[in-house]
Structure 1
């Protein structure tokens, strides 16, 4: 297996997190991935939606694999410029307003300017508003306080700000001495960083994966249709690499790779999911099998779109998903190891059980 390049993954992740990429405005992050893969001498292709695909030729070119991670993140758009110059927003992606109360943000204008600001409730000052603590955080009460000397809608418009401008949330990145990475948008840039460096490891080592594998970096996952089209016809296995959701009632943690058995779209493909579990057991990879009741992925989107593929989902455990998130370098390493093992191993013949296939391989080695 390829050794986990912790420092490379760390640098790539920090660089990615610093790039604003709310869904619909993710081109800068795609540019970053394209440049990084291009520096390895790899040919990349963009589809009409703006996603990026790179292919590694494998030993088996008859049955292909498709592995995705998404560069797009949560964000917002300007919904209204209020008479006092503050901005009302509309959400991009599924998050609660509580999770961005007090967050720093940037407004990206159509003419290329960027303006900083803070997302606040309209009744934030406890010295002025009796209901500051209890005011609901909602579409109607949340607003952007711009860092501009502009106190009217007209003055704000003079700065190039218009309805429909994208708003990104500052990531607030910190990598602790204890190995934790804290930031917004670890969903899904943690997985993207792992995949970029894993592709680089294969390119540099000259090793070929067991199957021809397409890696796709999608840019509309947060709104449900990131990787549900333009899938090559030879693809048989579809693996989404996305965060594992942690919390009460979940089995995952910040130190393991999570393998999803079921989310809001229903169960994932039993054979492919079991294959990932057996690989983790066989290679002593720390993992947890989990169920995400309020979650969907690029893999579930592809199946819903009608693609005839076996679909599965895995990724690093991430705490406080869709808020100020946190994971640990160990979860990144375990995700790397599982993906590396998966790329180098063929799924047993689907006409036999996955368990039997592993038993046969184990007996053959003995």
Structure 2
């Protein structure tokens, strides 16, 4: 949970993940685990196993939702262009950080232009969209020239404050649990493998991808020997969903189609054999690094599991037990033989 808190507190909107990739890289290097970076900026760690002919890959993505400066308004406010699949209403009232191309950062607040009820009679009726939502910068700026004087320009990245909190009842609520909860789980799994000196049956690659929110994070850097490819990403909660905040969610189908039936059954058998609480579910408006890998033409067995995350792509929440159940399933999974 402490590691997860550090991860969500490190800004990493898709396209600007250098800081968080360096954080993960340093975490693994301190464990003595060698890593390499892909040309796209992702990070890959490999644990050699007994069988290097048939290999497996696990992935979680460290990139998050965010925005870019679309326009500097004459008022000195900023118009945003969204990065990732979410709605403007989910970030209204949020604190944010603007990072310039020189690396300087400024804070701000995301607000409706028509926020003040003392001025705008029908403020609640205005549409939450790119025209009405803007960033109020915490600097003395009155016009576009003042803003540019700070070094802020079109294309600068905007990160949303996570507001992370861990409750005594075991919940962690924060933005960006998608998918930093899963990244934390994979990092702790690697730590456990190292500490226990586990000898895995198959060489296993761990990809920390950094472009998942825009659809292509895990579609490359997959060794040709890879047979099984398991994405670890959030389980979607809502009306009609089986997923909850306490179990590991095993996805059977998302917007890309069904996941590999044999791998799904194997994961269920592992969960039941090891008293791991799980739910099977379908995510109707969802894609993962595993589905991106399939779309890019890789001949692999693909699966998807993860902790259940409430209010996805908004102010998210999960429970310690969901993280624990996901971690337990992965621990047992990497010690199994690849399905025939």
Q: Distance in 2 between matches of 1:114 and 1:288?
A: 42
| 2:109 aligned residue (115, 118, 128) | 118
CA contact (8 A) 2:228 2:338 kept: no
Secondary structure of the residue that 1:279 maps to in structure 2? helix
Tell me the residue number matched to 1:352.
none
Q: Distance in 1 between matches of 2:7 and 2:278?
A: 25
- 1:196 and 2:187 are equivalent in the alignment: yes
- 1:168 and 2:169 are equivalent in the alignment: no
CA contact (8 A) 1:255 1:317 kept: yes
CA contact (8 A) 1:260 1:314 kept: yes
Tell me the residue number matched to 1:50.
41
Tell me the residue number matched to 1:336.
327
- 1:211 and 2:172 are equivalent in the alignment: no
Q: CA deviation at 1:131?
A: 1.6
Tell me the residue number matched to 2:79.
88
Aligned pairs (5 A) from 1:251-262: 251-262=242-253
Aligned pairs (5 A) from 1:286-365: 286-349=277-340
CA contact (8 A) 2:246 2:308 kept: yes
Q: Distance in 1 between matches of 2:122 and 2:279?
A: 43
Aligned pairs (5 A) from 1:141-152: 141-152=132-143
Q: CA deviation at 1:348?
A: 3.9
What per-residue deviation string (whole Å, max 9, x for no partner) do you get for residues 34-63 of structure 1? 000000111101010000000111122221
CA contact (8 A) 1:67 1:240 kept: yes
What per-residue deviation string (whole Å, max 9, x for no partner) do you get for residues 55-97 of structure 1? 1111222210010000000000000000000000000000011
Q: Distance in 1 between matches of 2:339 and 2:104?
A: 53
Moved over 2 A (4+): none
CA contact (8 A) 1:275 1:347 kept: no
Tell me the residue number matched to 1:245.
236
Q: Distance in 1 between matches of 2:75 and 2:130?
A: 17
What per-residue deviation string (whole Å, max 9, x for no partner) do you get for residues 193-238 of structure 1? 0110110110111111221100000000000000101210100000
Q: Distance in 2 between matches of 1:130 and 1:220?
A: 42
Q: Distance in 2 between matches of 1:337 and 1:287?
A: 11
Q: Distance in 2 between matches of 1:248 and 1:153?
A: 44
What is the Cα-based RMSD across aligned positions, in Å? 0.7
Tell me the residue number matched to 1:41.
32
What per-residue deviation string (whole Å, max 9, x for no partner) do you get for residues 293-333 of structure 1? 00000000000000110100000000000000000000000
Tell me the residue number matched to 2:274.
283
CA contact (8 A) 2:61 2:179 kept: yes
- 1:183 and 2:164 are equivalent in the alignment: no
Tell me the residue number matched to 2:224.
233
TM (norm. structure 1) is: 0.92
CA contact (8 A) 1:272 1:347 kept: no
| 2:120 aligned residue (106, 113, 129) | 129
CA contact (8 A) 1:184 1:323 kept: yes
| 1:74 aligned residue (65, 68, 78) | 65
Gaps of 5+ in 1: 1-9, 350-366
Gaps of 5+ in 2: none
TM (norm. structure 2) is: 0.99
Q: CA deviation at 1:253?
A: 0.4
Secondary structure of the residue that 1:133 maps to in structure 2? helix
- Aligned length in residues: 340
